[in-house]
Chain A
Amino acid sequence: MMQHSNALGNPFSSLLAQVGPIQQLIFGENASSAAGRSSDGLFMFILWLSVFFFVVLMGLSVYFCIVYRRRPGVTAQRTATHNTALELTWSVVPLLILVVIFFWGFDGFAKSRIAPGEAEQLILTAQKWEWTLQYPNGVTSTERELRGSRTQPIFYVPENKPIQLRMISSDVIHSFWVPDFRIKRDVFPNRYTSFWFQPEPLDLSDSRVKIAGEGTADQYPYLDHMIMCAEYCGDLHSDMLGVLRVVPESVYIKWLASQAFDPEGKMPWEIGQYLYVAKGCVACHTTDGTSGTGPTWTKVWGQKHLFADGSSVDQVDENYIRESILDPAAKVVAGFPNQMTSYQGQVTEEDINNMIAYMKHLAGVDTAPADESSEEGGS
């Protein structure tokens, strides 16, 4: 394994952060950021300390149990029942060690909380079981990859540049955790929290770094880090994952441009399709007929819908879709949990119309291209 030189972090951590076999066994891979390696160093320091005390104490106990086992005729001897000097040492010495651990821990913690000034600002929104990351030019990633039991979003980040996420949740508390960076931070509905990291420069000799577009002209190395939700948030808490893809700077800029979506000259349903991914509807609604957390969008437009409270509508129309987006709890389709949070204030009227157009398209009913005049549109 390549030894990762470690510029940051105090001498202790660099000494102990060399990737030993025990650390490999415990952590799987080495941390992918300097702060992460310093935290690993502290963990190993505590580990070796604990092993020492454990072996001493358990060894003594087992030894005493064998040597002083009860044998007929042999009695327990009198021994001193207190020894102030000994008792003081085994109180003060642990305290001193703990003070060292505290300051080392605080050092890594402070570094993880204060982002460097020039960090790039991205806005992360967490909602029940979907992460969405918005880049400065308003772009949200639409690439997804199969991880766990469904496709998860992929977020591209440039290598070797400090990045700060301004995180907010739109329903319950989540927690943004990237195990490779050894940091997590809770995401709250009523205030922003910050999460900053600096991905390492991509090092081709590292086995985890892969090459995209092998052999073609624009091949580039990338390294994936798993994103996990660490604060319990409900049914699909275990599938609220994400992939943080570290790519070279140039590839990152090119990718950002490719993701930008200009609605000019696009059919309403094409804009609707983009919104379907960008607004996170993809997390619960599928477009291939299988039912996810919510009903699938292929069987919505014009269909009969039975609701949980027994009422039903025989032909789904614009008003029903519009109401279900802004106030989902009003009419919950039978057999589905009442889990959808309201998109009040997060989607404009025009977005809703485009999404309705996309649902019509999925149901095979194509309206004419976006002509403002006919409100009804061919049905």
Chain B
Amino acid sequence: MATIDTHTSATVEHDHHDEGSYLKPKGSMLITLIDWLSTIDHKKIGVMYLFAVFFMFFLGGVAALAVRIELLEPIRQAADGTITGSNLASLFGLKDYSVAQSGNLYNRFMTLHGAIMVFMFIVPGIPASLGNFFLPLMIGAKDVAFPRLNLLSWYIYLFGSMFGVIAIILGGVDTGWTFYTPYSTTTDADHLNVVLMVLAAFILGFSSIFTGLNFVVTVHKLRAPGMGWFDMPLFVWAIYSTAIIQVLATPVIGITLLLLVFERTFNVGIFDPAMGGDPVLFQHFFWFYSHPVVYVMILPAMGIISETLTIYSRKKIFGYHAIAFSSLAIAAISFLVWGHHLFTSEGTLTATIFSALTFLVAIPTAVKVFNWVATLYKGSIVLNTPMLYTMMFLFTFLIGGLTGLPLGALSTDLHLHDSYYVVAHFHYTMFGGMVVAFLAGIHHWWPKMFGKEYSQLGSKIGFFLVFIGFNVTFFTQFFLGTQGMPRRYASYLSEFQPLHQISTIGSFVLAMGFFVHLFVFIQSLAVGKKAKPNYCGGLTLEWETSSPPIEHNFHHEPMLRHGPYEFADVVPPQCEPGEYPMPDPVENNDH
């Protein structure tokens, strides 16, 4: 069978054998800390991003729980002025607050949840952590194209998040994560926290641009010899198309937020109706970035699913070219459809155009799902945690995608726009899509990244809690939306209370699921067993190095001899013989 033959490349390469893993400390605690903070090794930067993104997810999650607690019961004011039902205000021990003040408190938590989750967790999420770690490994490179730029984008991420945290400490903003004018330019007129939060998003945009730029050049220039465009794993395709969107869309939010800061500080009047500006122009500027960024969130998730689905069913992906090109197609069409967020505010003619284009973007997504299900046919499927999360991804992302159709059609969107139906839809796609795939990816690659196994039982318990909690929380919100519950409401009519209570209970179950996962990961780092180099029989290049990988990734520059998913023909590297049985060879392989 084909084996990786060692070849001496042109330049003399000193031997890496004696070198330990990239996690090996370089001396005392202080030296290791300095080494980590000044490293240009994509793996260390990936791990730092991973833990920063976990922390931001925790912060956003706390804000989400606060939102759900507030919505347990509607706010009511009795005749004598006593207010019942504003749980957040009473939780914070506020005294003699008015209904407006308790509404304002809810709005600050709602905005916090949105802003942290979008700008600090979900946009950098997979590309910066798993992408940074595995893209070079999967294409057989030593590092990303511009390692120092990679470190710079990490520090820009920290700097931007610092702005966000300061804004939160100063009292947070109550504009919603979308900063719609003229509310965002007139609220908190004498405070600076809206400007600080907007600057945080502006700075985080640059970190996203540099990461994207780095990945595009890496994929173009640093592929292992012999690896053509169609020999690359699909995760690399997904990260590549995400990087294209990051580079092409993020500058527009840069100029939008800059103009918003000018608007607030110098009243330039571009978005200010009193001086002749136009609030809907801000919405066009904002959503031209924010819809493509929705695909920055989901494409890497689809990349992970293509990896885990094939490895754990030992089946070559069905329609490799279809999935690769649909990643690029989604990246391209994502720039055409931003207007479906403005159906109730834009002109009739523009809304019609955008509705037609929106249905175009559904096709490549549907093609991907069909191909994934076709891949499972006649496989040898093992239902460990990554595969369970992959199945959950199919379940939730299918619901998320299909519930998007009424939002794309014009007449139903008039009813469902800005209602809880939209909240449920984008949580099914963003949470059910990105976070679920992120969990699948982390559980799939955790032993490779840290060299420690994690307890399958613990993570499966976490999985069931997350699955039940998520669906209970958000499936009820579809019904809230269709029955007329608007979005971003601190209080509501009494007939919506039962559904809100179910949703809040679900969110607590979901939070418990994440704490179980946190415990499992800590336990794995502390006492986990040493992981084998290729514990899942993968064929992509990251399974040819040790786990955790050595400092320079590969002992010898890998020479690719086979495609990424030839499970039926190629014996997985670094595995005991017979661990992964092969189907009997057939003369006419129908590739």
A residues neighboring B (CB under 8 Å): 25-28, 35-36, 38-39, 42-43, 46-47, 49-50, 53-54, 57-58, 60-62, 64-65, 68-71, 73-83, 86-87, 90-91, 94-95, 98-99, 101-102, 104-110, 112-113, 129, 147-150, 171-173, 175, 177, 179-180, 182-186, 188-190, 226, 228-239, 241, 284, 290-293, 329, 337-339
Contacts and interface: CB of A to CB of B under 8 A. Distances in A.
B578 to A, nearest CB: 11
Contacts of B381: 64-65, 68-70
A293 B419 CA distance: 25
A290 B82 CA distance: 9
A149 B356 contact: no
Interface residues of B, number: 109
A235 B280 contact: no
Nearest to B494: A148
Interface stretch (B20-28, B193-201, B546-554, B581-589): B581-589
Interface string B77-88: 100110100000
Contacts, number: 320
B98 interface: yes
Given A50-B402, A75-B582, A337 B414 contact: no
Interface stretch (B215-223, B259-267, B481-489): B481-489
Interface in B33-91: 74-77, 80-81, 83
Contacts of B189: 329, 338
Given A102-B409, A112-B411, A57 B398 contact: yes
A107 B486 contact: no
Interface stretch (B100-108, B245-253, B430-438, B465-473): B100-108
A35 B321 CA distance: 44
B351 A90 contact: no
Given A110-B348, A172-B186, 6 more contacts: A64-B376, A94-B366, A149-B74, A149-B83, A232-B488, A329-B189
Given A57-B394, A148-B74, A175-B418, A238 B491 contact: yes
A236 B410 contact: no
Contact of A78 (B274, B403, B568): B568
A81 B406 contact: no
B484 A179 contact: yes
A230 to B, nearest CB: 4
Interface in B298-332: 313-322
B479 A26 contact: yes
Nearest to B383: A65
Contact of A61 (B394, B405, B410, B487): B394
A35 to B, nearest CB: 7
Contact of A171 (B186, B373, B378, B582): B186
A236 B376 contact: no
Contacts of B322: 82, 87
A312 B92 CA distance: 30
A242 to B, nearest CB: 12
A91 B363 contact: yes
A25 B479 CA distance: 8
B445 to A, nearest CB: 20
Contacts of A49: 402, 405
Nearest 7 pairs of A and B residues by beta carbon: A108-B411, A179-B484, A105-B409, A109-B410, A190-B273, A50-B402, A238-B489
Nearest to B584: A75
B379 interface: yes
B443 interface: no
Contacts of B176: 232
A107 B412 CA distance: 11
A227 to B, nearest CB: 10
Given A149-B76, A186-B345, A78 B415 contact: no
A39 B583 CA distance: 53
B370 interface: yes
Contact of A237 (B367, B479, B488, B581): B488
B409 A104 contact: yes
Contacts of A75: 314, 380, 581-583
A338 B187 CA distance: 9
A40 B405 CA distance: 13
B591 interface: yes
A38 B411 contact: yes
A192 to B, nearest CB: 13
B183 A43 contact: no
A28 B483 contact: yes
B414 A149 contact: no
A177 to B, nearest CB: 7
8 contacts: A61-B376, A75-B380, A101-B409, A112-B414, A183-B414, A226-B493, A230-B486, A238-B103
B273 A189 contact: yes
B542 interface: no
A105 B314 contact: no
A77 B320 contact: no
A233 B380 contact: no
A69 B382 contact: yes
Nearest to A189: B273
Of listed A42, A68, A99, A107, residue having the most chain B CB within 10 A: A68
B590 interface: yes
Given A64-B376, A65-B381, A109-B351, A39 B414 contact: yes
A239 B415 contact: no
Given A39-B411, A173-B279, A148 B493 contact: yes
A231 B409 CA distance: 20
Interface string B368-396: 01110110111111110000000100110
Contacts of A42: 406, 409, 411-412
Contacts of A293: 98-100
Given A75-B583, A171-B182, A28 B484 contact: yes
Contact of B344 (A50, A69, A185, A229): A185
A83 B377 CA distance: 14
A74 B377 CA distance: 14
B100 A235 contact: yes
A320 B187 CA distance: 24
A36 B83 CA distance: 36
A182 to B, nearest CB: 4
A235 B581 contact: no
A43 B478 CA distance: 13
Nearest to B359: A98
Contacts of B367: 87, 90-91
B369 A76 contact: no
A228 B492 CA distance: 10
B491 A292 contact: no
B383 A58 contact: no
A50 B320 contact: no
Contacts of B168: none
Nearest to A112: B414
B399 interface: yes
B413 interface: yes
A65 B378 contact: no
Contacts of A183: 414-415
Given A46-B412, A172-B186, A238-B491, A230 B273 contact: no
B460 interface: no
B257 to A, nearest CB: 18
A265 B418 CA distance: 48
